[in-house]
Structure formats: C-alpha cells, structure tokens
A and B are shown apart, each in its own frame.
Chain A
Amino acid sequence: MSELSASQRLDIIRHKGRPTVNDYIPMIFDRFMEMHGDRLFGDDGAIMGGIAYFKGTPVTVIAQVKGRDLAENQKCNFGMPHPEGYRKALRLAKQAEKFHRPVICLVDTAGAFCGVDAEKRGQGEAIAKNLMEFMTLKTPIISIVLGEGGSGGALALAVCDELAMLENALYSVISPRGFASILWKDAAREREACDLMKITAKDLTRLGVCDSIIAEAPGGAHNDPQATANNISEYISKALERKLKKGLDELINERYNKFRSVGDFEEPPLSDKSR
C-alpha cells in the first residue's frame, strides 16, 4: 500500500460520508445513555456525553459531534464546542472518577469555537481547567482522534493515558488553513501547509504524541464504517486491559510523564561569555 500524504488524508476526512460519533457510538457501545448540561450555563450540542456499556463494562463516553447534514450541523455548531461543552465534559469525567468508570474520549473537531459569547464565558479558562483536571483524574482515560484534532479544542479531550488516531486522522496545533494564512498570508495554500506541518498519525507517533494507529477500511472509514468501528472496539479492549491492571498512582504518574516528556530543546553548558 502506498503511503498517502497529509493533504490526501485531509480529503478523506472531509469526505461527505465520513462516519461521525453518531455512527460509531451505536456500533461500539451498548445502551448509550446521553447526559446533558454543564450545570452552570447550558447544554452544548458539539460535545455529547453519557454512560454506556463497552463489552459489558460501564464506561463514560465523551464525544465531539460533527453533523452529517445541515440540520445536524446547526445543532452541533459544526463540531466547534463552546465553554459549556468543555465544562460538561469535565462534569462527566468527574462523575466517572467517582464511580470508577473508565473514560473514552472521541475527538473530532476543527477547534474550539471562536466567538463573542465563547470569550465572555471563558473559552480559555474552560480548556485550561480540563487540561489540569484530566491530568489528575483517578480513572483511566483513552482518547481517540477520529478525524480532525483541532488544536486546544481537541486537546481539552485528549489529556489521557493513551492517545490513538484513526489512520487518516490529523491532529495539529493550528488548521492548515490558519497556518497558510499566517505564514504565507494566503489561506488557499492549505494543502501545501498540510504537507509541511507534520500532522498525520505517523508523524505524531514519531513525535511521541500518538500511541497507537487504528486502521480504517481500505480507502477510508466511509467505505466501511462497521469494519472501522470493529477496529476501534478492538483497540479500546486492549487499551482498557492495559490500563485497568495498573494501580491509580502508577496510572497517573505515567499520564503526567507522557506529556512531561514532550519537548525538543538542548542545554549547552554555560560558557563564560553567557555569564
């Protein structure tokens, strides 16, 4: 199989028939019961959460919702969460911690929503709080990037014990479009940006960010959503088995170190000149 470029993968994840969490959740989990609201402001349609069985074990599922048509997209704000979405996610994660349920996060967003209300309600604070609280949450967390992993808006559901990516998923600090518009003042050069940015599952594995790559159906998940869902299920089974046998202290220390170790710097010895 020839290796696809990042921009070719961008085409695949933008395919109209790309499965969303609305397709995957019923294929992967049993009796998903949705829970609404952050108990502070409202209920955000861009993040769906609830309790379900995974192969007989109760788990908490937190998922970023993309629409499959205009009506769905209006409901989920085209997959871009507001602060209340992140706060709902945190509420459900804390609930999972209390009842010792593992948390499965499904990441698929272009990014946190950028708007006046989002600023007024503290988009930055909401994301920051999730990063801090997920880091010390006393239950296993598995995050899977399904399509787009858009910046801080994705990271807010991706502080985890293991990060997996579907083979065509992309996870980046800025959208290729945003990158092109800042670097070249030309958003139209997004494909070029995409290939420069090192954002594929393979790139992220090399950079120590992605732990597992989940195979999609040949040609992309849209060709066989069920086969792709089966691969996701198989991955979750193995990941949970690995994490559930660890003690909580070990689990949380390893989670801290997973992020602690990412960085590329050097420390030359202090020369007389720099004194």
Chain B
Amino acid sequence: MLEDLFSMVKVRFNANQTDDDKKKTDIPKGLLFKCPRCRSVTLSEEFNKKGKVCPNCNYHSRLSARERLDITVDKGSFREFDRTMISKNPIDFPDYEQKQIALREKTGLKDAVITGRAKIYGKDTVIIVMDSNFMMASMGSVVGEKITRAFEYATRRKLPVIAFTASGGARMQEGIVSLMQMAKTSGAVARHNEAGQLYIAVMTDPTTGGVTASFASLGDIIIAEPKVLIGFAGRRVIEGTIKQKLPDDFQSAEFMLENGFVDMIVDRSRMRRVLSHILRMHNYTGEVPKK
C-alpha cells in the first residue's frame, strides 16, 4: 500500500471515461472545456469568463500559481522569496535533471511552488501557492525548503501564512529526501503555531498524498474550493483493494467537509474577501473589504 503518497491524480478523473468521451476530448484544446467532475462540455470562453469554474456543476478547475496570485493579493504587493531555487538529483534518478530543465522551459516555473510576502486588502501575509503544472506539484527538496522558509519567515516577522495547496503527493524521483519534506514542513508549521500565528490552508485541486498528510492538513483554518479532489490515497489504489468502483463524490471537498476535515467551502469569487475577513478577525490589521 505504499502507493499511498502517489495518488495518481492524473488518472483520477479519466477512470470512467468512455470511448465516446475520448472522441469528444479530441476537439482541439482551447475551444472547449470538458469538466472532469460532471463531464459536461462548455465553450472555453465561457469557462474562462467564470474564472475557470465549470458553469454546470461549479467544479473549481486548476489555476497556475501566477493566476492564483493575480486574483488573490493586492496589485503590485507580491514580493517573491527564493526565486532561483532549483532541485538537484539526490538519488541520481535517471533523466531527472533533463526532465526539470524541459519543464522549467515549458512552464516558466523553477519548481512546483511560489512563495512570498503580499498584502490582501492592505493586510500583510506570507503566501504559498503550489502549481500543478510542474510535475503535478509533487513535493521534493525545493517545494519542502521554500515552504519551510516561508513559515520560518512568518514566525520571525509575526505574520500569518496562507497556503494554496495542490499536489499529487511526494516526488518519487527524489526518493527518501522527498518523504523527509513532509516532516520538515510540518515542523515549520509547528513552530509558527507555537508562536501564536495564524495559518490558513486553502485546498485546491488536487490536494492529495504526502501534502495532505503534512502541512496541508495542519491549518488553524482549512478552506476548500468547491468540488476539488482532496484525499490521502489514490482512488485506483483503493478501488483495487476493495474491488469495486467508488462513488463520484468520493474524496471531494464536500466529502471532506461532511467527514469533518475541512472548515468551509468557499467559491473562488469570494475567496479574497473571506481571507481578508479571517485575517482581520485575528487582529492582523489593514483595510477592511467592502461588503
């Protein structure tokens, strides 16, 4: 059952796809959005206008870290930390360097997380945003180190932390070093917690595996976006164990809310204001949002 940290997110929604569905997805990308939750098809234009939310079922689709920052923090307020950090190859995994070079080129990212300091309605916060475009935001040395440093910075400066989590789990290519990032980030959360500072985790699609089993589940307040995938083990692994298909809403944000592991589900369009109010309620001062 060691597949636990590798939730095989990519296959998550494709498992029930029929041949007919596959044909539909052959339509040139960029014209249509096919929702992985409800399988309805919408014009991309409409989907994008809704902020990458499915107009049919309200599934909140993945955003890049840059897109997330743009809709979350005050314009011009973001100062990025550790922007040059890149991973080495701790277990000499075949072709790991080349794969990363190609991904950096393709995504414009150095690794799967962006961290920094920003303002939300004038209130200072440390912000962590994971990006599933880079190796499904798996957690290796860079993700672990940047998140740890972000929490340590917030602890020193008495600032809150807001983390938008998304991850397929640990990064297999970094072996045991990847597993240790779970302990390392959780330790940094522990110190921030002991210092009496606020940590808000916002779980986005998909939050799974070793990230669910470490800092993502340790927020003072845990928010999720509607319909996103949240879980520990991979769906296929569980289906293999119990030898039956799981219901569609298994490991959704709503499933986690019902089972008591998420405080609230918040629409993307309200997120910035909700975060601002929570910061305010914890006496982090600044401008109060209208409405």
Instruction: Say whether A associates with B.
Output: yes
- Closest Cβ of chain B: how far from A213's Cβ, in Å? 15
Cβ-closest chain B residue relative to A177:
B2
Instruction: Name, among A131, A179, A203, the residue most crowded by chain B CB atoms within 10 Å (CB to CB).
Output: A131
Interchain CB contact under 8 A, B242 and A128: no
- Closest Cβ of chain B: how far from A57's Cβ, in Å? 27
Interchain CB contact under 8 A, B1 and A174: no
Stretch at the interface among B39-47, B138-146, B267-275: B138-146
* A269 contacts B by Cβ under 8 Å: yes
Instruction: Give the chain A neighbours of B217 by CB distance below 8 A.
Output: 122, 124-125, 128-129
Chain A positions 195 through 209: 1 when the CB is less than 8 Å from some CB of chain B, otherwise 0: 011110001100101
Interchain CB contact under 8 A, B145 and A120: no
Given A115-B238, A199-B175, A178 and B246 contact (CB-CB distance below 8 Å): no
Interchain CB contact under 8 A, B148 and A264: no
* B71 contacts A by Cβ under 8 Å: no
- Closest Cβ of chain B: how far from A251's Cβ, in Å? 14
Given A207-B90, A265-B145, A266-B88, A114 and B187 contact (CB-CB distance below 8 Å): no
Interchain CB contact under 8 A, B5 and A174: yes
* A236 contacts B by Cβ under 8 Å: no
* B194 contacts A by Cβ under 8 Å: yes
Interchain CB contact under 8 A, A266 and B85: yes
**8 Å CB contact of A178 from B3, B92, B181:** B3
User: Please, how many angstroms separate the alpha-carbon atoms of A155 and B2 in the complex?
Assistant: 12
Instruction: Give the chain B neighbours of A260 by CB distance below 8 A.
Output: 148, 184, 187-188
Interchain CB contact under 8 A, B233 and A274: no
Query: Which residues of A line the B interface, CB within 8 A?
Result: 80, 110-116, 118-125, 127-129, 131-133, 135-136, 150-153, 155-156, 158-159, 171-175, 177-179, 181-183, 196-199, 203-204, 207, 209, 256, 259-260, 262-270, 274
Q: List 18 A-B contacts (CB under 8 A).
A: A110-B2, A113-B1, A114-B1, A118-B233, A119-B232, A124-B213, A127-B214, A128-B182, A131-B182, A135-B186, A153-B1, A159-B186, A173-B176, A174-B170, A182-B172, A260-B148, A263-B177, A264-B90
Interchain CB contact under 8 A, A132 and B186: yes
**8 Å CB contact of B86 from A128, A203, A265:** A265
User: Please, how many angstroms separate the alpha-carbon atoms of A61 and B218 in the complex?
Assistant: 26
* B257 contacts A by Cβ under 8 Å: no
Interchain CB contact under 8 A, A135 and B187: yes
Interchain CB contact under 8 A, A259 and B86: no
Instruction: Name, among B5, B85, B209, the residue most crowded by chain A CB atoms within 10 Å (CB to CB).
Output: B5
**8 Å CB contact of A122 from B3, B170, B234, B260:** B260
- Closest Cβ of chain A: how far from B24's Cβ, in Å? 25
Interchain CB contact under 8 A, B88 and A159: no
**8 Å CB contact of B177 from A135, A136, A262:** A262
Instruction: Give the chain A neighbours of B170 by CB distance below 8 A.
Output: 151-152, 173-174
Given A80-B1, A114-B238, A173-B176, A262 and B218 contact (CB-CB distance below 8 Å): no
Given A153-B4, A155-B182, A112 and B232 contact (CB-CB distance below 8 Å): yes
Instruction: Give the chain B neighbours of A183 by CB distance below 8 A.
Output: 172
**8 Å CB contact of B212 from A120, A128, A136, A196:** A128
**8 Å CB contact of A204 from B3, B8, B145, B176:** B176
**8 Å CB contact of A118 from B5, B82, B218, B232:** B232
Interchain CB contact under 8 A, B250 and A116: yes
* B174 contacts A by Cβ under 8 Å: yes
Interchain CB contact under 8 A, A150 and B1: yes
Given A111-B2, A204-B176, A122 and B259 contact (CB-CB distance below 8 Å): yes
Interchain CB contact under 8 A, B176 and A209: yes
User: Please, how many angstroms separate the alpha-carbon atoms of A123 and B177 in the complex?
Assistant: 22
* B91 contacts A by Cβ under 8 Å: yes
- Closest Cβ of chain A: how far from B134's Cβ, in Å? 14
